[in-house]
Amino acid sequence: MSSRPRGATGSAAERELLSAGDVARTIARMAHQVIEKTAGGAERTTPPVLLGIPTRGTPLAVRLADRIEEFSGTRPPTGALDVTLYRDDLRRRPPRALEETQLPATGIDDRVVILVDDVLFSGRTIRAALDALRDHGRPRAVQLAVLVDRGHRELPIRADYVGKNVPTARTEGVSVLLSETDGRDAVLLRAAEESPGEPQ
């Protein structure tokens, strides 16, 4: 089930930030950074666990794992972590459908867990993810990888791996499209939305 409807293309108020080729290159670069940053010490023997935050974080985590396997020869375990039940804005919205949570069989205890999401905005989703993780186990360390960081943080949260930093206005919208969920790869910037959504 798709969470937010992603705008149809072709609108005049919409600009492509990343093409399909850019998305692929960006993920490849992030994979190299992950390998570099997690290659020392105990991580050499136990690769990090990549947990995608649904909807689009889940396929992103798998793609990142594909590239890491390609470049390093070791495939990190992947999974999905739905944070809906941990959100702080549930009361303000109609009931949301839950999405899949699927932790790898290896578990997360004493592993380096890398949370993967499409867009980093207010940081509230990541706060919810950190709370959710705590109920699933105790990772050795938690890191964050996002395809796009669009600023406007409302919490003291930053990403360890950023595909692209995009300065935006609060009223603008950033859409990540992935072929797994949207039929094609792209990152779009929409000018001033009619009804600015609350930062996610």
Supply angle C-alpha 39, 150, 79, rounded to 5: 45
Is residue 85 close enough to count as binding another protein by CB under 8 A?
yes
Nearer to another protein, 47 or 79 (CB): 79
The footprint of another protein on residues 93-152 (CB under 8 A) is 93-103, 131, 134-138
Is residue 61 close enough to count as binding another protein by CB under 8 A?
no
The order of strands in the sheet holding 14-18 is: 14-18, 186-190, 173-177
Nearer to another protein, 70 or 100 (CB): 100
From the list 191, 184, 130, 189, the residue with the least C-alpha distance to 157 is: 130
Listed ranges 35-43, 55-63, 82-90, 174-182: which one lies at the site for another protein (CB under 8 A): 82-90
Nearer to another protein, 38 or 55 (CB): 55
Interatomic CA distance for residues 66 and 173, integer angstroms: 29
Q: Say whether the peptide bond before residue 46 is cis (omega within 30 degrees of 0).
A: no
Place of tokens 């390093």: 72
Interatomic CA distance for residues 170 and 183, integer angstroms: 27
Tell me the residue length of the chain: 200
Interatomic CA distance for residues 181 and 49, integer angstroms: 22
Is residue 86 close enough to count as binding another protein by CB under 8 A?
yes
Nearer to another protein, 56 or 87 (CB): 87
From the list 50, 124, 60, the residue with the least C-alpha distance to 92 is: 124
Is residue 194 close enough to count as binding another protein by CB under 8 A?
no
Nearer to another protein, 25 or 138 (CB): 138
Of 92, 156, 183, 195, the one binding another protein (CB under 8 A) is: 92
The footprint of another protein on this chain (CB under 8 A) covers a number of residues equal to 23
Tokens of 46: 């136990």
Instruction: Report in angstroms how near the CB of residue 108 gets to another protein at its nearest.
Output: 10
Instruction: Report in angstroms how near the CB of residue 67 gets to another protein at its nearest.
Output: 28
Is residue 198 close enough to count as binding another protein by CB under 8 A?
no
Residues within the interface to another protein (CB under 8 A): 82, 85-86, 90-103, 131, 134-138
